[in-house]
Amino acid sequence: MCWLKNLRKVPDRVEPQSGTFRELANIRLESHISETMLSADVVDNGIGTDIEAVANVFDLYYRAENPTTRAVSDLRLGLNIAQTIVKLHGGQISIDSEAAGGTRNGFKIPRVVKDLNQAA
């Protein structure tokens, strides 16, 4: 459950939206299951990411250059690994973000339903 531990750290990494005090981030986890697809999104109202950075976030070791990202030390492997796993399952991963406008990170994978009576 490493991803869950990292998700809990997100509010500590979010910069204030305005003023001199630290505002709490609003983070939502959304999921949907249809007959053919399973999707999950993490949505926040944080500092967002500019268009140039969004285009590169799945690259190994990529870090957007701004004071907020420089203050966090990590290897920047998570999104590349997540993308690889989702693609191996025949799915898609996406990020929709605007600077100062929050971010939506999500994935969709095909839903596989097996009949346990026929499994062998």
19 falls within a domain: no
Residues 6+ apart with CB under 8 A from 40: 29, 30, 31, 32, 106, 107
Residue 81 belongs to what domain range?
2-14+26-110
| pLDDT at 63 (0 to 100) | 72
Per-residue pLDDT of the chain (120 residues; tens, 9 = 90+): 455 555 555 555 545 444 433 456 788 999 999 999 999 999 998 888 888 888 888 888 777 666 555 555 655 678 889 999 999 999 999 999 877 788 899 999 999 877 777 655
For the entire predicted model, the pTM comes to 0.65
Cα distance between residue 33 and residue 109, in whole Å: 10
73 falls within a domain: yes
Number of structural domains in the chain: 1
116 falls within a domain: no
* Residue 93 belongs to domain with CATH number: 3.30.565.10
101 falls within a domain: yes
Q: Which two tokens stand for residue 64?
A: 């957007």
115 falls within a domain: no
